Structure 1
Amino acid sequence: MEAIKVIKIGGNSIDDSAALQEFLINFSQIKGPKILVHGGGKLATKLAKQLNVTTEMVVGRRITNAENLDIITMVYAGKINKNIVVALQKNKCNAIGFTGADGNTITSVKRPIKEIDYGFVGDVTQVNIELLEMLLENNITPVFCAITHDKKGQLLNTNADTIAAELAIAFAQKHQTELYYCFDKNGVLLDINDENSVVENINSNTYKELLDAQLIFDGMLPKLNNCFHALNNQVFKIHVGTSEMLFNPNVKYTTIQP
């Protein structure tokens, strides 16, 4: 099998309908086996507000009680996931939507309570790729939302960046695998207000230097931790930037290196 691309989209690519449709047109034209992973937190928060359900965030992380889990399931696995799949079908990219429960592809455990009780949030324990390999070999693109399961009948809200990293790691044990994190910035920025201040290459040494200099912004830390976790587990290429990096060789983005 050719190199497998695991591509995670979030931010404006999900929240803006026109931007999402443009991305999916371009995504459909990517050759070779590919997997799409998406979030959708802003839309879940919007629906929760409409339903008068409180959304609680702690250090950028969502507290997922039972009511919020119902809303997340409706938004992630329902509205967003199926709209992506139908748009890909329209663009002649055969796709199928997944939570981690579908095909028992991604299992997790409920995050233990320490300083914070995150509620129904899952930490990934296993990724099963046999079914996904079969789909990719038949030119079918899996589309994952940010939900896993615990094999005991419980769905769990799970960070989409983590799902993308764990999928890439699982495939990397048998295949050459590339991981792309697409969001609203051009990559890791030295100045959050300057889109041209992209750090184009980061390795473990430069990452430590950036951390020591307090030049990595809080919202980027979990993403970069996932990047280095994937890099340390045989993922071949890891890039961070806007979705343009997938289609335009002239845009700036960040490459994570050993």
Structure 2
Amino acid sequence: MKTIKIVKIGGNIINNEKALNSFLADFAQLEGPKVLVHGGGKLASELASQLNIPVTMIEGRRVTDTQTLDVITMVYAGKINKQIVAQLQAYNANAIGFTGADGNTIVSVKRPAKPIDYGFAGDVVKVNPELPALLINHGVTPVFCAITHDANGQLLNTNADTIASEIAIGLSAHFSTELYYCFEKPGVLTDVNNDDSVLEHINTQTYTELKANGVIFEGMIPKLDNCFHALQHHVHKVHIGNTDMVFNPTNKHTSLAL
């Protein structure tokens, strides 16, 4: 079974044109099947401000009302996604952009309004990997943005980490899947102010202990929850760190195991 790399990048790359182009140049040269998943960066918030659309965040997550959904669709599925696809083409990597609605690849349900109403936020219920797998086997690289659909005509804003995890799970029926979560730090740290304090290996037992001791907290918890969810559903390997780990596996980063 072929090995595929599913790589998720966030705002620290998307918000920096030079860093994004450098990453895409390396990603295009990455041998073997691959998928890229990206978030939205700060561009959606900037455009919303320009349009006098309030940006509301609760516990670090965006509240997606009708106007905000319009903005993120334009930014995520439009400007950012197509710029990434175009740049990959320039680097001789044949790529195609996806939302979850394209090819009916990712179906979600609107998150319940209680206890917190996040508006048009989607929770993934099904991935249909056949079309991406077909394209991948023909040398095409899918590029997914953080938008899904409910199969009834409604687009939904969906966490990009979750999309990456669910795509990796879906593709595990066709490939040996390796999932890479790239962010600004070299891995999960025991001290957020010390980049040398990387935890190189975390399993379910140590994860529970690290949470109980307050070493892992806030935004890192949902990211790691996605990691272990993937491992529990046939994803072969999961890694967290900066983009260097994707191209240089010996670089220090965090590897997850059950």
TM-score, length basis structure 2: 0.98
Task: Within 5 Å, give how 1:34-113 maps onto structure 2.
Answer: 34-113=34-113
Alignment of 1:54-203 (within 5 A): 54-203=54-203
2:28 maps to what in 1?
28
SS in 1 for 2:184: coil
1:157-198 deviation per Cα after TM superposition (whole angstroms, max 9, x unaligned): 000000000000111134211100001111111111111111
1:41 deviates by 3.7
Does structure 1 conserve the Cα–Cα contact (< 8 Å) formed by 2:241 and 2:253?
yes
Unaligned 5+ segments in structure 1 are none
Correspondence list, 1:205-224, <5 A: 205-224=205-224
| Secondary structure in 2 matching 1:217 | coil
SS in 1 for 2:35: strand
Distance 1:250 1:94 in 2: 28
Query: What is the percentage of aligned positions where both structures have the same residue?
Result: 60
Task: Give 1:52 shift.
Answer: 1.1
CA–CA distance in 2 between the matches of 1:48 and 1:203?
A: 40
Give me the whole-angstrom Cα distance separating, in 2, the residues matched to 1:138 and 1:162: 26
- Report the alpha carbon displacement of residue 249 of structure 1 after superposing the two structures with TM: 3.9
Cα distance in 1 between the residues matched to 2:59 and 2:111? 16
Distance in 2 between the 1:137 and 1:249 partners?
Answer: 24
Would you say the 8 A contact 2:133–2:174 is kept in 1? no
Distance 1:207 1:12 in 2: 25
Post-superposition CA distance 1:1-33 (Å, at most 9, x none): 511111100021111000000000000011111
Cα distance in 2 for residues equivalent to 1:188 and 1:100: 29
Secondary structure, in 3 states, of the residue corresponding to 1:218?
coil
Q: How many residues align?
A: 258
**Distance across 2 between alignment mates of 1:247 and 1:174:** 23
d(CA) in 2 for partners of 1:32, 1:115: 43
For structure 2, the 5+ residue unaligned runs are none
**2:233 equivalent in structure 1:** 233
How far apart are residue 250 of structure 1 and its match?
Answer: 4.4
**Which residue pairs with 2:255 in the alignment?**
255
> What SS class does the counterpart of residue 26 from structure 1 fall into?
helix
Q: TM-score, normalised by structure 1?
A: 0.98
- Displacement of 1:132 after TM fit? 0.8
Match of 2:36, SS state, is: strand
Aligned letter for 1:54? Answer: P
SS of the aligned residue for 1:229 comes to helix
Moved over 4 A (4+): none
Query: Amino acid of the residue matched to residue 144 of structure 2?
Result: F
- Partner deviation per Cα, 1:47-95 (whole Å, 9 max, x = no partner): 1111111111111111000010000001000010000000000000000
CA-based RMSD of the aligned residues comes to: 0.9
Contact 2:107 2:150 in 1 (8 A): yes
1:10 and 1:41 map into 2 onto residues whose CA distance is 7
Opposite residue 91 of structure 1, the aligned amino acid is Y
**Distance (whole Å) between structure 1 residues aligned to residue 249 and residue 39 of structure 2:** 25
How far apart are the structure 1 equivalents of 2:128 and 2:68?
27
What amino acid is aligned across from residue 130 of structure 2 in structure 1? E
What corresponds to 1:6 in structure 2? 6
